[in-house]
Structure 1
Amino acid sequence: MIKRAIGVVVVGAALLAPTTATAQEHSPAAASRPAADGWQRVGDGITAGLSGLAVEARHGAAVDAVGVRDNKKPGQNRLVALGLRPDAAPRVRPLEWVGDLPVDLEAIDAVPGRPHEFVALASSGTAYRVVHGKDTAKVVAVFRLPGISPDANYEGFALSVVRGKTVAVWADRGQDDRPATLSAAEWNPADNSFGKPAAAEFRAPYPTENVRHASDVKLAADGRLTVSSAADPGDDGPFASALYDAGRITVDRAGRIRLAVSGAPHRLAAVTGHKVEALTCLPGSRTGILGTDDENGGGSVAFADFCRR
């Protein structure tokens, strides 16, 4: 069983401890161990944050994961392999990207039933299917999401099998008065094609200023959607985030994908001092991992109990 590293002060059960970044967290000594609040550093500076996370394997309390970084220039890292343990320093290994070079990767999830395969999503709505080798991330397909808007900024993506169908969910983040838009469709991993998408708006009650209503999304096997929201006032913060039970995916008797989004979402957790842009869950567990892109403050991860089995 993976030990929960952080505990939250919100409505309902506590899941995460509110945290404020300190100078000690940025010191070499602090980087060699988890911070007192449970956050673990995975990179320093504006090119080392995490904008998406996916679990690759689990070995008892140890988790192998991959994370994307929203870098835009040649020579900057796009995908990183992470070896995570609740009570030890993360192992961080940048991977060589082989294939069409993406700009601004914002999300990633594992392809169900295909070990070491992932779909990473750029903010433009372009998806990159990659295979993780020893030291590489090799692009095997590039495709566009259906129904994307040129004015949107896509920050969330998830894949899961719901009632026998592989379902993709993606999120345009929204901004302040403009709500996020969640979309869902059946996805065929054989040829990367999509069924007819369903869409609905999502608005986060908190944070309330400089808010991106959807900074990531994850889909459980029972169809429930977890959405992270984040406040981003600039490269130096201050940042704040929240997690929500946002709605549900169902499959009707005709096999069509249905999307229901809550107009009053239940808040699962709130975080101060970090911009949560990445969510992932350990299979068959309530334990998940949060990842942050704290801009000039770099990136961190933390274990938390926010998932559905």
Structure 2
Amino acid sequence: MRLRYLGAAVAITTAAVLPAPAAQADDGWQSIGEGMLAGVSGIAVLDRGWDRIDALVVRDNKKPGQNRAVRVRLIGGKVTKVDPITWPGELPIDLESVEAVPGRAGEYIALASAGKGFHIRVCGLTAEVLGTFQVPKGAEGDNYESFALKSVRGRLFAVWADRGQDSRASTLYSAEFDVAKLSFGAPRAVPFRVSYPERDVRHASDLEITEDNRILISSASDPGDNGPFDSAVYAAGTLRADGSIALAADPVRIGVFPGHKIEALTCLSVSCGRLLYGTDDEEGGGSVRIG
């Protein structure tokens, strides 16, 4: 399948992005588990109350018997509960992202690194698989860590990304998406890279699309299981009404997070004035943070 690369760029002003300050290594981070099997590779909101957030976290575990998902409760920004979610039937291998399906309460799309997607319904502490799919074929060697859905003028679009590695840019893909059929329209593609972090960099470790169609992207430095890690979050561009991606000529860095490998982020309000972040710090385990 031929993909069209988009060369258009848009300017993004600092007034249009989130006023997120840089974070210190352990400033506000809340552990949800220790060790290699406890990382956060994707995150979405399950439910929320006045000062409570229940989040769905997926993990990139690969072997039978290893946990694939947990329900995390935060009250006042503090983790108070982490409950394993049962995943009956075929177990996914290397889940890297999870996204709520617009207009379908309790339904989510989880994507694995090789491009296999799972349409799931979460009820309590069980994930029911409603169907599976494969994203359209991209470039050789693609390794996916991101997936987002956004309804624009009555049309639902999917945006997903290969993570890239060092000199190899990430590739952002977008296409119209039919949830009922789990099928895609013709995909488009655009390369994306960051200048920071500078070494062992994954240019796109997750992405989120705001209510006003801005695309936020996390980037991370991953030199190995023991780090040291480093992450940054960017306002990278916008999703147009036709589903194409317009990247900013100079993506605006809206947060820097030393000491952590951010692999997950999701908006906590319509304005996206606050984000919920998740890290996969390998031997250092997983943590979440509101910022």
TM-score by length of 1: 0.85
Does the CA-based 8 Å contact 1:125-1:148 persist in structure 2?
A: no
Matches within 5 A, 1:104-183: 104-183=94-173
Q: Name the residue aligned to 1:70.
A: 60
Does the CA-based 8 Å contact 2:211-2:270 persist in structure 1?
A: no
Report deviation, 1:290: 0.5
Report deviation, 1:91: 1.2
Which of 259, 265, 271 in structure 2 is aligned with 1:279? 265
Question: Aligned partners of 2:151, 2:89: CA distance in 1, in Å?
Answer: 28
Higher relative contact order, structure no. (Cα contacts within 8 Å, ≥ 6 residues apart): 2
Match status 1:185 vs 2:185: no
Name the SS for the 1:296 alignment partner: helix
Report deviation, 1:160: 1.8
Report deviation, 1:13: 7.5
Question: Aligned partners of 1:87, 1:185: CA distance in 2, in Å?
Answer: 35
Paired letter, 1:274: H
Question: Aligned partners of 1:222, 1:18: CA distance in 2, in Å?
Answer: 25
Segment drifting more, 277-286 vs 287-296: 277-286
Question: Aligned partners of 1:178, 1:192: CA distance in 2, in Å?
Answer: 29
Moved over 3 A (4+): none
Cα displacement string for residues 201-246 of structure 1 (whole angstroms, at most 9, x for unaligned residues): 0001100000000000111222210000000001011000000011
Question: Aligned partners of 2:69, 2:243: CA distance in 1, in Å?
Answer: 31
Question: Aligned partners of 2:110, 2:165: CA distance in 1, in Å?
Answer: 22
Name the SS for the 1:96 alignment partner: coil
Report deviation, 1:132: 0.6
Cα displacement string for residues 74-107 of structure 1 (whole angstroms, at most 9, x for unaligned residues): 0001111111123433311111111221110000
Q: Name the residue aligned to 2:13.
A: none
Report deviation, 1:20: 2.9
Question: Aligned partners of 2:110, 2:139: CA distance in 1, in Å?
Answer: 18
Does the CA-based 8 Å contact 1:187-1:194 persist in structure 2?
A: yes
RMSD (CA atoms): 1.5
Cα displacement string for residues 4-40 of structure 1 (whole angstroms, at most 9, x for unaligned residues): xxxxxxxx9862443335xxxxxxxxxxxxxxx1111
Which of 18, 21, 25 in structure 2 is aligned with 1:20? 25
Which of 51, 54, 78 in structure 1 is aligned with 2:44? 54
Match status 1:40 vs 2:26: no
Does the CA-based 8 Å contact 2:72-2:79 persist in structure 1?
A: no
Report deviation, 1:119: 0.4
Cα displacement string for residues 156-213 of structure 1 (whole angstroms, at most 9, x for unaligned residues): 1111212221111101000000000001111111211111111100001100000000
Which consecutive residues of structure 1, in runs of 5 or more, have no partner in the other structure?
1-11, 22-36, 305-309
- Cα separation, partners in 2 of 1:113 and 1:13, compared to 1, 3 Å: closer
Aligned length: 274
Segment drifting more, 135-144 vs 260-269: 260-269
Q: Name the residue aligned to 1:299.
A: 286
Paired letter, 1:298: G
Match status 1:269 vs 2:259: no
Matches within 5 A, 1:184-223: 184-223=174-213
Name the SS for the 1:89 alignment partner: strand
Question: Aligned partners of 2:263, 2:54: CA distance in 1, in Å?
Answer: 19
Name the SS for the 1:227 alignment partner: strand
Which of 273, 277, 290 in structure 2 is aligned with 1:290? 277
Does the CA-based 8 Å contact 2:77-2:290 persist in structure 1?
A: no
Paired letter, 2:80: P
TM-score by length of 2: 0.90
Question: Aligned partners of 1:132, 1:78: CA distance in 2, in Å?
Answer: 13
The sequence identity of aligned pairs, in percent, is: 49
Cα displacement string for residues 94-129 of structure 1 (whole angstroms, at most 9, x for unaligned residues): 111112211100001001111111100000011011
Which of 80, 84, 89 in structure 2 is aligned with 1:94? 84
